Homo-oligomer: A and B are copies of this chain.
Amino acid sequence: MTARMASWLPLSPGERAVAIEVLVHGPLSRTELARRLGLSAGSLTRLTKPLIESGLLVETPENGAPAAGRQGRPSQPLDVVADSRFFVGFKVTEDMVYGVVTTLRSDIVARLDRPLTTHDPGRVADLLAAMTGELAAGFPPLGGVGIGVGGLVRERSVVAESPFLHWRDVPLAALVEERTGLPAVVENDVAALVEAETWFGAGRGLDRFVVLTIGAGLGYGLVLGGRRVPCAEEDRGFGRHWIIDPYGPLTPTGERGSAVSLLTIPSIRYQVQAATGRETTYEEILAGAAAGEPMAARVVGEAARALGILVAQIANFVMPQKILLAGEGVGLMDVAGDTVRTTLRAHRHPMAAPVDLEVRVSDFHDWARGAAVLAIQVLVLGAVEA
């Protein structure tokens, strides 16, 4: 076996800042890093030396665009050794486990999905360990495991409460660590996705950033000062009481006219089925609305207006620099994006800054990637919970 690097390197605040900046913002020369971090050139020589020696960073040998006409000594960009360590991320749903392997940069290099046939904590941990073994096969230096679960998670290790798994106080991280011998990190699935987007996605470098996910439920994540704001109700219950239209539809979940009733995939399917009597998929409904079917168009239009109002309220009160729409349900924006944007504008002050609204289609592997990012944060960089 090759010499294994320590999984946890104690980094000074300055070193951590350098490591994160390079990790998140691609290859950067020392001078550029000095400019971005407000440090002197000398300090960067000092800070980068141990990072290079530890193998986390390298001076990129290939000078992609070598100075291109600029004179002077060419810069020596530093980059993370993306494949020096790999990370495994899981998203656990009621009946499936989605797994990915990512590089340090959080690029997905392998995927593996398995049905979940039991909710017994030990068996679930067994499955996660087995999947980790399979996933790790091609990637020897494994840095750790991140696990995203719907529900309330404490200390990044214990599932305090998960309604759909019927778990209470399950020390999932410990169970997986026992079976794999790898450090493990557990987090709420939405929280993990938000962290991933904050570090490597749409929220890079932003001070105020909001993530709104639409799917089987609603997810909401608030990032202030680069840190996610934790909150008590983040166990899949967002939006049940966000009343958009008191005279809106009544559905099995969520109050009448709530964001959940108007926007989630099950509620939209329920509304169409209740009106037409036919079972239809979400995609069929969106296609129907685009084709002008009255019932689908009405439900989708209402959803789009609700989304516009919701985004406007967030923009009005939080004033984020960007709002990211993610999840399986964002196909709504393709069909009715104009309605959303028109409604959004109508609920904003004319002089207010326009809302930077980004849409990202995300499947379950993106959620698993989020969990892997959390592992990178905690295990490589020693980032701690708020």
Q: Are A232 and B351 in contact (CB under 8 A)?
A: yes
Q: Are B317 and A238 in contact (CB under 8 A)?
A: no
Residues of B close to A238: CB separation below 8 A: 349
Measured between alpha carbons, how far is A240 from B348 in the docked complex, in Å?
8
Interface residue? A222 (CB, 8 A)? yes
Measured between alpha carbons, how far is A374 from B246 in the docked complex, in Å?
42
Among residues of B, the one whose C-beta sits closest to the C-beta of A345 is B241
Q: Are B237 and A349 in contact (CB under 8 A)?
A: yes
Interface size on A, residues (CB 8 A): 35
Measured between alpha carbons, how far is A346 from B312 in the docked complex, in Å?
21
CB A239 to nearest CB in B, in angstroms, measures 9
Q: Are A348 and B241 in contact (CB under 8 A)?
A: yes
Measured between alpha carbons, how far is A224 from B208 in the docked complex, in Å?
9
User: Interface residues of A: mostly helix, strand, loop or mixed?
Assistant: loop
Interface residue? A313 (CB, 8 A)? yes
Interface residue? A297 (CB, 8 A)? no
Residues of B close to A233: CB separation below 8 A: 349, 351-352
A211-242 contacts to B (CB < 8 Å): 220, 222, 224-225, 229, 231-233, 235, 237-238, 240-242
Measured between alpha carbons, how far is A317 from B352 in the docked complex, in Å?
18
Among residues of B, the one whose C-beta sits closest to the C-beta of A243 is B347
Q: Are A231 and B318 in contact (CB under 8 A)?
A: no
Residues of B close to A346: CB separation below 8 A: 241, 243
Q: Are A353 and B224 in contact (CB under 8 A)?
A: no
Among residues of B, the one whose C-beta sits closest to the C-beta of A343 is B243
Measured between alpha carbons, how far is A316 from B210 in the docked complex, in Å?
13
Scoring A residues 345 to 376 as 1 if CB is less than 8 Å from chain B, else 0, what string do you get?
01111111100000000000000000000000
Give which listed residue, B225, B243, B317, B347, contacts A314 with CB less than 8 A.
Answer: B317
**Could you give 14 example pairs across A and B, Cβ below 8 Å?**
A220-B317, A224-B225, A232-B351, A232-B352, A233-B352, A240-B349, A241-B312, A241-B316, A241-B347, A241-B349, A242-B316, A243-B346, A313-B313, A313-B317
Beyond A208-B229, A238-B349, 4 additional pairs, beta carbon < 8 A: A231-B319, A233-B352, A237-B351, A317-B318
7 closest Cβ pairs, A-B complex:
A233-B349, A233-B352, A225-B225, A233-B351, A317-B317, A224-B224, A314-B317
